[in-house]
Amino acid sequence: MDDSASSKRGYHHGDLRNALVGAAADLAAKGGPASVTIRAAAREVGVTPTAAYRHFAGHEELLTAAKERALEELTAAMTKAVAARPAVGGDPVSHALARFGAFGRGYLTFARQEPGLFHTVFAPASSQTPRPFERTQTNPYQLLVGALDDLVAVGYLSPDRRPISEITAWAMVHGLATLLNGPLSDLSEHLRDEVIVRSMLVLGHGLKGNGLDREQESLLATELTSPPPRN
């Protein structure tokens, strides 16, 4: 078999690289990043590993391509969740909050429905792999940044609370996704939904800044930044 061999994936002559990337993404979806290898992808496509090595120098390059494809899928899932959200009227604050919540829902839904691809997005990077959430217009990090900027624009999130709030929001939603796919995976559907809603409400209140007074904020900040006590 060679690059022009008949493939069970049906790739066209000269398009073996894309066929291998698709196979790598399929492998990642089924078994996570550890399942992505040159040999396995070549077998899926129906060519020899030697043919695959003409397009990828090794495992890391193929995994990088699979990570990029998985990131595209995550971005699409978040965008789809926003597009599918119900209308919330003409109130700009409600619109911005609904958009922010829909991005979180899309992220969590993707993590649950596509755990293999979700883990692949965050697989250890090679020296050639771009960071998963570099600031571009087409990835989840930038979508989150835009949603938070919208909350500032409509007056919900004050400018002084805006700095690095994307890291805070990402940490909560990603941590929740990790827990629901791991230690909390046996929760009932009802309780899972309750945890998601409660977490997002806590995040929403925190962004608004109406849960703690200045003294309480200072107390927590001091506690979290003070050196730990010595034994």
Contact call for residues 84 and 45 (beta carbons, < 8 A): no
Give residue-wise pLDDT tens across range 192-204: 999 999 999 999 9
Query: Which residue stretches of 32-139 are H helix?
Result: 38-45, 49-52, 59-83, 92-113, 115-121
Residues 6+ positions from 208 with CB-CB distance below 8 Å: 156, 157
Q: What is the pLDDT of residue 90?
A: 75
Whether residue 7 is predicted with pLDDT greater than 50 in this model: the reply is no
Burial 184-200 (b: 16+ CB within 10 A, else e): eeeeeeeebeeebeebb
Name 214's Cβ contacts closer than 8 Å, sequence gap at least 6. Answer: none
Confidence of residue 1 (pLDDT cuts 50, 70, 90): very low
Q: Which helix (H) or strand (E) holds 187?
A: none
The pLDDT confidence band at residue 133, using thresholds 50, 70 and 90, is low
Instruction: Give the pLDDT of residue 4.
Output: 38
Q: For residue 88, report the phi and psi dihedrals to the nearest 5 degrees.
A: -120, 20
Q: Check: CB of residue 88 under 8 Å from CB of residue 135.
A: no
Q: Is the pLDDT of residue 88 over 80?
A: no
Digit-coded pLDDT (tens) for 13-69: 468 999 999 999 999 999 999 999 999 999 999 998 888 888 888 888 999 999 999
Write the CA distances from 189 to 173, 178, 184, 196, integer angstroms: 18, 16, 11, 11
What domains, with CATH codes, occur in the chain?
A: 1-56 (1.10.10), 67-225 (1.10.357.10)
